[in-house]
Amino acid sequence: MKPLTGRQQSILDYIARFMDDNDYPPTIRDIQAELTISSTSVVDYNLKVIEERGYIRRNRNISRGIELVQRDRSRRGSSMLSIPIVGQIAAGLPIPVPGDLESMGTGEDADVLEVGPELIGGNPAGVFALRVRGHSMVDALINDGDIVVLRRQETAQNGETVAVWLREERETTLKKFFLEGENVRLQPANVTMEPIYTRADNVEIQGKLVSVHRSIS
């Protein structure tokens, strides 16, 4: 993107400020008044330049027809993910099955975790969050009160960290998954701790761990 002159940068800055305040773009005369430019044609001229440089998009013959292309990306919820916190995860409890994520996901009053997409990395579909109860997952460096984000899936590649339900033990755990013949090795994230070995048909994969979030009260 080509650089802008000082005046053009001022105009662009003002447009951004104006839209933050007012929810709608400024008119050419708004810009003219703010920057004490003597003529609307000067503003129009510079807006054309800014548009050619790619910073804004203009809708001809439409009042306030200025859109910031820059902002569409970083701005707003468009790049913001609201992940529903559908329940709790604890050692002795099976992972709750989120009914239909779509309908409850963006509900106003529902408990949601808002994060940027860089922490999810990939398609946000099928992703949900659970609040951790108890200290049973400290071996995975996960504390009581943490929020874990999982992607629902029933199989796993070797090395992926997954939430599994152990049928015999009747408990949930969060470990790295390795299929070794008939058996499964479940390795804690904390390298100083020992893995669990069990039969493959004893583990029921609930989802893949996507991210962990801890807010200090």
Residue 19 in the binding site for DNA (CB under 7 A): no
Residue 78 CB, nearest approach to DNA (Å): 23
Taking CB under 8 A as the criterion, which residues in 71-90 touch its own copies?
72, 74-80, 82
**Structure tokens given for 83:** 């992940």
Positions in 79-108 near DNA (CB under 7 A): none
Long-range contacts of 192-196 (CB under 8 A, 24+ apart): 193/139
CA gap 215, 49 in Å, rounded: 46
Q: Residue 37: helix, strand or coil by DSSP?
A: coil
**Closest CB to DNA among residues 65, 94:** 65
Residue 27 touching DNA (CB under 7 A): yes
Alpha-helical regions (H) of 23-143? 28-34, 40-53, 69-74, 101-105
What are the residues facing 29 on neighbouring strands?
Answer: none
Residue 87 vs 202, nearer CB to its own copies? 87
Nearer to DNA (CB atom), residue 59 or residue 155: 59
Identify the DSSP state of 61: T
Could you give the residue numbers annotated as active site? 136, 175
Residue 40 interacts with, from its own copies, DNA, none (CB under 5-8 Å by kind): DNA
According to DSSP, the β-strands at 183-187 and 66-68 are unpaired
Residue carrying the six token digits 């773009």 = 25
| Size (the chain), residues | 217
Q: Is 121 helix (H, G, I), strand (E, B) or coil?
A: coil
Q: Which stretch binds DNA (CB under 7 A): 38-46, 126-134, 137-145, 150-158?
A: 38-46
Q: What is the separation, in whole angstroms, between the first and last Cα of the chain? A: 43
* CB of 215 vs its own copies, minimal distance in Å: 5
Q: Which is nearer to DNA, 38 or 123 (CB)?
A: 38
* Binding of residue 68 to its own copies (CB under 8 A): yes
Task: Tell me the sheet residues that pair with 184.
Answer: 179, 198
In this chain, which of 5, 13, 17, 22 binds its own copies, going by CB under 8 A?
Answer: 22
Question: In whole angstroms, how close is the CB of 61 to its own copies at the nearest point?
Answer: 12
**Chain residues 46-65 in contact with DNA, contact rule CB under 7 A:** 46, 49, 58, 60-65
At 213, phi and psi to the nearest 5? -135, 135
Q: Which residues bind its own copies (CB under 8 A)?
A: 22-25, 27, 59, 63-68, 70, 72, 74-80, 82, 108, 112-121, 135, 138, 141-143, 161, 189-192, 208-217
